Structure 1
Amino acid sequence: MASHSHAHKEHSGTGLIEAARDSLIASGEQWTGMREAVFAELAKHERPVSAYDIADNLSRARGKRVAPNSIYRILDLFVANNLALRVESANAFLANTHPGCQHDCIFMVCDECGEATHIDDDQTSRRIRDLAAGCGFSARRPVIELRGLCKACKG
């Protein structure tokens, strides 16, 4: 479903965690135990997950409370370093399965089941960035989301 102009490798499982670690370290950031735990929890989910859900799951697993504010800071770092994707309309996050490969994602978010599918379309992204530049606007991170029903829910 991706429409990009170059090949990129989709990672999963421990390979995804290792790729995220390598990408974060390459960007000059540290890969801490808490960052690994947050990324591993995020990577378990196929649908967007909130910082509160991650905090609750990690709190249960660790036997002590993990503050959602700490999770938000880590997730913001992950988004800034292209390790996670933020679904703005749901205030939720997905692990980027191809860390280190930069795209402006187009999300299709199902209002019924919450599934968020992303499409990488470099042509559309380039056009939106060009439109912004034509208005004198410097786009940092375009967010494109389509709300509706996924194939399964529209039946």
Structure 2
Amino acid sequence: MATAHKHSHHEHEGEALITAAKRSLEEQGERWTGMRAEVFEELAKHSRPVSAYDIAENLSNQRGSRVAPNSVYRILDIFVRGNLANRIESANAFLVNSHPGCRHDCIFLICDDCGAADHIDDDRLTGALRNAGTEAGFAEVRPVVELRGLCGSCAR
């Protein structure tokens, strides 16, 4: 079995993750508003991909007032552009990036049974995809690679 070329980065969790996300977003010239903090904290609570609708519903319940899914989508789009979150295209859902500020292309592994999601890094594979897109005339190429199957727990 081939070994993936690992991209080295530091994984954050808890308050360290929130601090790293805030710092990364502000370094990109974006503001860390109260609503953005709430959306990020809610997203960070989930180990599985979560939809903007689920985040909006959870925040609405916490606040006692309605949070519009469109507002959450706009914030999540900022997070994806800023590398604070990843969009899981096949599930129309989002997953927190546990290493904000570290730019690289992830290969997502999504369990068809339990919905768990994880990622691996293989810079050779994603680099080849990026190069192929660039050679085809595309600019700002961003590979999105998702592998679906059964996680180790569900495959047993």
Query: Shift of the alpha carbon at 1:149?
Result: 1.1
Query: Shift of the alpha carbon at 1:23?
Result: 0.4
* Letter aligned with residue 149 of structure 1: L
Residues 64-103 of structure 1 correspond to what in structure 2 (within 5 A)? 64-103=65-104
Aligned equivalents of 1:3, 1:66: Cα separation in 2: 41
Structure 1 contact 3–119 (Cα < 8 Å) conserved: no
Structure 1 contact 132–139 (Cα < 8 Å) conserved: no
1:3-57 CA-partner distances (Å, limit 9, x unpaired): 434x321110011001000000000000000000000000000010110110011
Distance 1:132 1:140, change over 3 A: closer
Q: 1:4: which partner in 2?
A: 6
Q: 2:30: which partner in 1?
A: 29
Aligned equivalents of 1:130, 1:86: Cα separation in 2: 22
Structure 2 contact 85–94 (Cα < 8 Å) conserved: yes
Q: 2:53: which partner in 1?
A: 52
How many residue pairs get aligned? The number is 154
Aligned equivalents of 2:41, 2:90: Cα separation in 1: 23
Tell whether 2:66 aligns with 1:62: no
* Letter aligned with residue 44 of structure 1: K
Match of 2:95, SS state, is strand
Structure 1 contact 85–95 (Cα < 8 Å) conserved: yes
Q: 1:153: which partner in 2?
A: 154
Query: Shift of the alpha carbon at 1:139?
Result: 4.6
Q: 1:129: which partner in 2?
A: 130
Aligned equivalents of 1:112, 1:139: Cα separation in 2: 34
Percent identity between the aligned chains?
A: 62
Aligned equivalents of 1:74, 1:62: Cα separation in 2: 17
Query: Shift of the alpha carbon at 1:80?
Result: 0.2
* Letter aligned with residue 36 of structure 2: R
Aligned equivalents of 1:103, 1:2: Cα separation in 2: 14
Structure 2 contact 130–142 (Cα < 8 Å) conserved: no
Unpaired runs of 5+ in structure 2? none
Aligned equivalents of 1:140, 1:30: Cα separation in 2: 26
Structure 1 contact 16–97 (Cα < 8 Å) conserved: yes
